Amino acid sequence: MVDDLRSDDGLGGFDGHHHRQPRRSDKKERPLADREVPLGQQEQDARVLSPAVHAWLDGELPEASVRKGDTARDVEFWKQINGEVERRRRVHTPVYLEAQIMERLPQSAPAAVITKWWQREYVVTPTAAIITAAALVMTAAAVTAIVMAFAR
C-alpha cells in the first residue's frame, strides 16, 4: 500500500539524513491519472456545505440538530471520516525515534545568542526608574554647575 516515498528529488533538505531503507511497494505503480486529483479540481467540484454542518463539525451544534433533512447524508459521511481521523489521533511517535534524535544532537551545548545591549529587553521597576531619574537630575545639575563656573 506504500508508494515510493523517497524520490531523489522530493526530500528538500531531508535526503541526507535517512537511517532506514525506503519501503517500496510490491505492487505495480498505478498510473498517474489514477493517483492524482489536479489542484483546483476538487474546489471546482466542491458543493457548499451547510453552515449548520460546519458548526456541528466545529463542535458548536449537537448532532441531533443537523441529522435531519438534507444534511442527514452529510452527517453520515462525516461520521465515517471522523472515525478514520480519530484513529490518526492515536498515532504515536515510533519508540526508537527519540534515541535517534538524541544521537544526532551535537555534543556541545547550544550556542548562546549574544544580543547587543541596545537590542536587549530591560525591565524597568519603579525603584530603578526613581534611581535613574535622580541620577540624571544630579548629573544635569553637576554639568550645569561646571558650565556656569567656567562661564564666569
Amino acid in the structure at residue 94: P
d(CA 139, CA 151): 18
Binding residues (CB under 8 A) for other proteins: these are 1-7, 9-14, 17-18, 20, 22-23, 30, 32, 35-39, 41-43, 45-49, 54, 57-58, 73-74, 76-78, 80-82, 84-85, 87-89, 91-94, 97-98, 100-102, 104-107, 109-113
Grid cell at residue 90: 492515536
Minimum distance from residue 110 beta carbon to other proteins (Å)? 4
**36 vs 63, which CB is nearer to other proteins?**
36
Count of alpha carbons within 13 angstroms of residue 139, beta-carbon side = 6
Cβ atoms within 10 A of the Cβ of 11, count? 13
Give me the least distance between CB of 27 and other proteins, in Å please. 12
